[in-house]
Amino acid sequence: MSSTTSETTESTTAVLVQAHTTKPSTPAITEIEAPAKKSESALKSFISGGVGGACAVLVGHPLDLVKVRMQTGAASSNSVFGMLSTTMRTEGIRGLYRGVSAPLTAVSPMFAVSFWSYDMGQRMVKAYGQNGMTEEEKAAPYTLSMGEICVAGAFSAIPTTAIMAPSERIKCLLQVQANEVEKGGKARYSGMFDCAKTLLKEGGLASLYKGTGATLLRDIPGTVAYFGTYELTKRELMKIQGIDPNNGQLSLSAVLFAGGFAGMACWGIGIPADVLKSRLQTAPEGKYSGIYDVYKALIKEEGYAGLFKGMRPALIRAFPANAACFLGVEVAKKVLGFMG
């Protein structure tokens, strides 16, 4: 009896000891949810885009000058490098950067708005893609499809046009005016602000925003190609280099290549609309009733080849200018990493 009692007591003690020792271990095996990856700061996207825009202008403006003069019939040569050489010889380095104040003043905020809008577009398509998901599923990393990236890119063109259209109007007028002065003509505008003031005085906001529809016609498909090509090229380069797309970062040389290639894709698609925009924005008031009228006149006078005027300087400019742009954006994002 005592033996049985002793065995029962020992058995009970063992069970209690086991229960006591195993109970505290329960929280240790409880899964802790990892916090969802925070979206990049919208302010950081805005500032980084502005830095990238300034880099793009400083690198690409001389070739943009050649492009506009070719498109508007103000070119003194059919050769890109011939025009650069002539401009440098007759006007000096200041001639190569003729009209740069307008894009430099507007392009930094314009690119800031563009990259901010692209960030907002990404958030919107991500929210749409996560619609109906559980909280656990939303906490998992979400990789945007190429279609979603293209939609975000298209969205970015809309708010950017509010800055782009008047800036392009002023820039084109100043660039064409410089060529007329070179031939002995008289300057109508003393600079960027005088040009803007004159346009507002003569035709109000409608004159300043002349060519807005043409700008959208160029920039919506252009930004689809721009951001889509950049992200696709980055992903492919990461695969080649064996880098995790969620955590890894490309080398600066790879960023330069992806950015340059994205710029060429953008202008390869956007150049016909850009030709129409440049003609419309630099034409005397009343010459054209709209972009379709410009198109009809251009095809009648120059054929379809006229739609691709300025393609060479645009593509030559696109690679270094946009390589510099995306490099500026990526470097700025690293510097501003404390912003989240």
User: pLDDT of 47-94, one tens digit each?
Assistant: 999 999 999 988 888 887 777 777 776 655 667 777 778 778 877 777
**Alpha carbon distance 72, 135 (integer Å):** 56
Q: Under DSSP, is residue 95 helix (H, G, I), strand (E, B) or coil?
A: helix
- Percent of the chain's residues with pLDDT above 90: 44
More confident residue, 247 or 36: 247
Neighbours of 81 (CB within 10 A): 13
What does pTM read for this prediction? 0.74
Can you tell me the mean pLDDT for 306-330?
90
Can you tell me the mean pLDDT for 97-122?
85
Dihedral of the alpha carbons of 67, 72, 76, 80, in degrees to the nearest 10 = 20
Tell the residue number behind the tokens 């054929």, with chain if given.
303
Residue 39's pLDDT is what? 57
Per-residue pLDDT band at 300 (split at 50, 70, 90) = very high
Can you tell me the mean pLDDT for 89-111?
79
Question: Pick from 174, 172, 164: which is nearest to 194 by CA?
Answer: 174
Mean pLDDT, all residues of the chain: 83
Question: Pick from 287, 326, 328: which is nearest to 72 by CA?
Answer: 287
